[in-house]
Amino acid sequence: MTRETAATAFLAAKNIPFSVHDYEYAPNGGLIGMQAAEAIGVAPEDVLKTLVVEVDRKQPVCVVAPAHQRMNLKKVAALFGGRNARMMNPEKAQELTGFQSGGTSPFGSKTPIPVVISQDAMPRGHVYINAGGQGFVVRITPADAQRATDAKVADIAAD
């Protein structure tokens, strides 16, 4: 392993198999997940973005979805008994998770929060998910990602 983060330590402690991959992080280069897919040389469907949202301005939720996919915030809110959801501001998300924007991971958050994974990610053989640092991802099976985080799997894609 090239380096350890809270995310990789979390996965290792749970005996979840994964490998680590670095790529050149370019914060001003557009959608980070799409950059990662191109840099790693995989399809955008194989790279999952990690976003922190707030349901009804009170319930934080970590959303994991294919990089190319737009999410439906109302679907996410409904999963947690809410009416609406919005993106959490980056400073608040960092304070909650311990991860810097562009490096947010569903694994090893400072404060455990519920995780939802897009059902569209589950059929993939392996996916790449942020490993807790900018330009740093883990390759993992979607089932192992779900198991590690006890995530809900749901249709959260925008139509």
For residue 106, CA distances in Å to 28, 75, 83, 90, 159 come to 23, 19, 23, 15, 24
pLDDT band at 29 (very low <50, low <70, confident <90, very high): low
Residue 10 φ/ψ, nearest 5 degrees: -60, -50
* Percentage of residues in the chain having pLDDT higher than 70: 94
- The 10s digit of each residue's pLDDT in 51-108 is 999 999 999 999 999 988 899 999 999 999 999 999 999 999 999 999 998 899 999 9
Whole-number pLDDT of residue 99:
95
- The 10s digit of each residue's pLDDT in 124-150 is 999 999 999 988 999 999 999 999 999
Query: Of 27 and 105, which is predicted with more confidence?
Result: 105
Exposure letters 23-62 (e unless 16+ CB within 10 A, then b)? bebeeeeeebbebbbebbebebbbbbbbbbbbbeeeebbb
CB atoms inside a 10 Å sphere around CB 1: 11
136-140 and 19-22 beta bridge pairing? antiparallel
Residue 142, Cβ density class (10 Å: 0-12 exposed, 13-18 middle, ≥19 buried): buried
pTM: 0.93
Whole-number pLDDT of residue 1:
42
pLDDT > 70? residue 2: no
Residues 148, 14 contacting (CB under 8 angstroms):
yes
3-state class (DSSP) for residue 15: coil
Give dist(CA 156, CA 159) in Å, integer: 9
pLDDT > 70? residue 31: no
Domains for the chain: give ranges and CATH numbers.
6-154 (3.90.960.10)
Q: What is the mean pLDDT of the chain?
A: 92
Give dist(CA 73, CA 117) in Å, integer: 13
